Amino acid sequence: MCFLRRLLLSGGAPLSPDTHDYVRNALSLPLVGGYGLTESCACGTIMDKDEVSTGRSGPPLQGVMVKLINWEEGNYRVTDKPRPRGEVVLGGGNIAHGYYKMPEKTREDFSTDAEGRRWFRTGDIGEIYEDGTLKIIDRKKDLVKLQFGEYVSLGKVEALLKTCPLVENVCIYGDSTQSFCVALVVPDRNKLITLAEKLNLVSVNIYIDKHMSLRRLLMRNTCSECKSVRRINLGECLRPEDFSLGVDLELHASDFF
């Protein structure tokens, strides 16, 4: 007798723990996530089908080697406690030989050891658990260095702000000549209208810059979602007429400071 077991796979982007748990329980199926890149032929790591945790990417696949190297600027080291952390480097026969007609970039990211094994520096920051499971915790290229040497993970801040119910989309910008980041927040129109109705501020066109009370509520609600994040300037709002719809997208400095 043959038993067929269905399995769900997730890849291409991080899967939030809440979504992972919800899908796994709603469909009563194992849902596993993996990690890999184009440069590694999509092979890297994958969770075991009986894995019950979330947020981790599983152990290496057969024939794939994973190691961590220190990234001093980001304060990630293989000697970190309780678990080693660092830039993820993948090795094995699945690693590409390099980038097409990009010799400098190839020399920067690809290498070959004395045994002829190819290695690729992914630029992702990982953490390895005691059971050999890899967890991606950060991204080197996603970090911006501020005026006083502080590194900020733009992706982490954006992900945190997107948990605010009033926020539909957000873009974080960091300038190395400034000591803070700027958040461009696009409110959720439907939820903003609901909030405006509660404040008796409904009109044909809702511009939050015309209603200070609405703007303060939006900013207070947004900031409450990111108490752990510092130096985010949410001081001003943009209106549709502040955008130039020509070839270039122009944002006026007065709308930020």
106 C-beta neighbours (distance < 10 Å), count = 15
186: which strand partners?
Answer: 169
For residue 238 the two structure tokens come to 């943009």
Pairwise CA distance, residues 232 & 183, whole Å: 7
Ordered by start, the domain boundaries in the chain are: 8-140, 146-255
Among the listed ranges 34-43, 83-92, 99-108, 165-174, which one has the minimum average pLDDT value?
165-174
Q: Is 153 left (phi over 0), alpha (psi -120 to 50) or beta?
A: beta
Confidence class for position 104, pLDDT limits 50, 70, 90 = very high
Q: How wide is the angle at C-alpha 209 spanned by C-alphas 147 and 154, nearest 5°?
A: 30
CATH class of the structural domain 8-140:
mainly beta
Six-digit token string for 35: 């990690």
Q: Give the list of residues 6+ apart from residue 251 with CB closer than 8 angstroms, or none.
A: 184, 238, 242, 243
What pLDDT is stored for residue 252 in this prediction? 36
Q: What percent of the chain has pLDDT over 90?
A: 41
Task: Find out whether the peptide bond into 82 is cis, omega within 30 degrees of 0.
Answer: yes
Same fold, 8-140 and 146-255: no
Note the pLDDT tens digit of each residue in 140-193: 877 787 877 777 878 778 877 887 777 888 888 888 788 888 888 888 878 777
Q: What b/e readout covers 186-218, taking b as 16+ CB neighbours within 10 angstroms?
A: ebeeebbeebbeeeebeeeebebeebeebbebb
pLDDT score, position 201: 65
Give the per-residue pLDDT at 202.
Answer: 57
Percent of the chain with pLDDT over 70: 76
Global confidence as pTM = 0.65
Return d(Cα 219, Cα 46) in angstroms, integer: 40
Task: Using pLDDT thresholds of 50, 70 and 90, give the confidence band for residue 16.
Answer: confident
CATH class of 146-255: alpha beta
